Amino acid sequence: MQKTRIFLGAFTNQTNAQNLSCRALAKYLDKEKFEVYTLEIGHGNLKSQSVKGVHVFRCNFPVKLTGILGFFWGFYKADVVYLPRGLFINWQRFLCCVFKVKTFKTVRNVIDEDSLVSAMSQINRKLKGRISKGFDFVDRVYSMTPYMSEYNYKKWGIKSDKDCLLPPTDFEEFRKVARTRHQLRKVIFIGNDWKRKRLSIFLDLANKLQDIEFHVVGKGDQADFPNFLLKNVYAHGLLTEMELLEVITSADLHILPSNSEGLPRVWLETLANGIPSILFKGYGAEDFVKEGVTGFVVSSTDEAYQLIEGILDQSIDLSVLSKNCQAEAEIYDPIRLTKKYEQVIEDLYAS
């Protein structure tokens, strides 16, 4: 049987949500059906993958040149191209015209004003604000949630397929050490873009609830957040995969105050470990958080505070939430989600 050749246009040895999803795809795509081509970056912070049936183009310095060469290589090799990122976006457009291969993209963000100055800033600058130009040159576009699809269509005219496509997240290490939480002692925040992710709300909660430990994972300027000086706030900085696993495993509740996200990878990792989440409204978290079952979606700091108080006085059963999270994680099993990508690739190639 002839295999379908798929190019994953991402650096699979560098920490980034899209890169990590492609790393999982490279690992789990059925090698009896697919020959996989992908990229690595010279200074990547993750180990190189060594998977049979996966071919890697290594982009060493200068990446502005070798990265473009890597995309040429991937387009030349492939029958179907997956473009999860805005890397070399104008070159992507050009290569789609030159090589008549089937292509698809995924949208990972609700593209609001906050994301335009952070997660989408580079694409916004290169496309001079014409965001739809970052998606209108491929055969198909997939969003992760119905809310995301509707918002980005109304705001930018980005047309997504009727079916959503969730990113595979290789959270097996988090799931293997999952445990049921019974008592709330430690709360965790994970993220780097502290202003957009509204870390100040997390720290305000720490100020109100000083009998609980509040742990911050990620990089930012602590001087911008006076509540970092609180005795119950612990800053961990950037962590390796194993260090992050250790910190998450010790936590009992995850809070992400951001109101500008897609489907947060940290939500999936904490879910798999048995940690319920409190997320905030604004980007469609209601599409994936089962309210009162695996967590909560709130509108304000006061609502979050009341929920934490409910967990502390046991009017909200933390152990039930935690068990529900472990069961819910099965829906997001990376092998299961990869099967959906396989269907997309096969359908595109046959069309």
Query: How much is the pLDDT for 129?
Result: 81
pLDDT (tens digit, 9 = 90+) per residue, 323-341?
999 999 999 999 999 999 9
CATH 3.40.50.720 fits 172-332, yes or no: no
Query: How much is the pLDDT for 95?
Result: 98
How far apart CA 11 and CA 87 sit, in angstroms, is: 10
Q: Provide the pairing of β-strand 34-41 with 253-256.
A: unpaired
8-state DSSP, 331: G
| Chain mean pLDDT for the chain | 96
Residue 278, C-beta contacts closer than 8 angstroms, at least 6 positions apart: 253, 254, 255, 256, 295, 296, 297, 298, 304, 307, 308
Residue 255, C-beta contacts closer than 8 angstroms, at least 6 positions apart: 187, 188, 189, 202, 205, 277, 278, 279, 304
Query: How much is the pLDDT for 72?
Result: 98
Every domain range in the chain assigned CATH 3.40.50.2000 = 4-170+334-350, 172-332
Asked if 233 and 227 count as a contact pair (C-beta separation under 8 A), the reply is: yes
| 208 band by pLDDT with thresholds 50, 70 and 90 | very high
Per-residue tokens: 186: 């430690």
| 10 band by pLDDT with thresholds 50, 70 and 90 | very high
pTM: 0.92
How far from chain centre, in Å, is Cα 57? 23
How far from chain centre, in Å, is Cα 46? 16
- CATH of segment(s) 4-170+334-350: 3.40.50.2000
| 12 band by pLDDT with thresholds 50, 70 and 90 | very high
pLDDT (tens digit, 9 = 90+) per residue, 260-282?
999 999 999 999 999 999 999 99
pLDDT (tens digit, 9 = 90+) per residue, 283-294?
999 999 999 999
Burial (CB count <10 Å: 0-12, 13-18, 19+), residue 93: middle
Per-residue tokens: 180: 């049921």
The answer to whether residue 118 scores a pLDDT higher than 80 is no
The answer to whether residue 1 scores a pLDDT higher than 90 is no
Query: How much is the pLDDT for 117?
Result: 81
How far apart CA 126 and CA 89 sit, in angstroms, is: 8
Query: How much is the pLDDT for 226?
Result: 95
Among 27, 22, 29, 28, which Cα is nearest to 8's? 22
Among 135, 24, 14, which Cα is nearest to 86's? 135
How far apart CA 239 and CA 64 sit, in angstroms, is: 27
pLDDT (tens digit, 9 = 90+) per residue, 120-174?
777 878 887 889 999 999 999 999 999 999 999 999 999 999 999 999 999 999 9
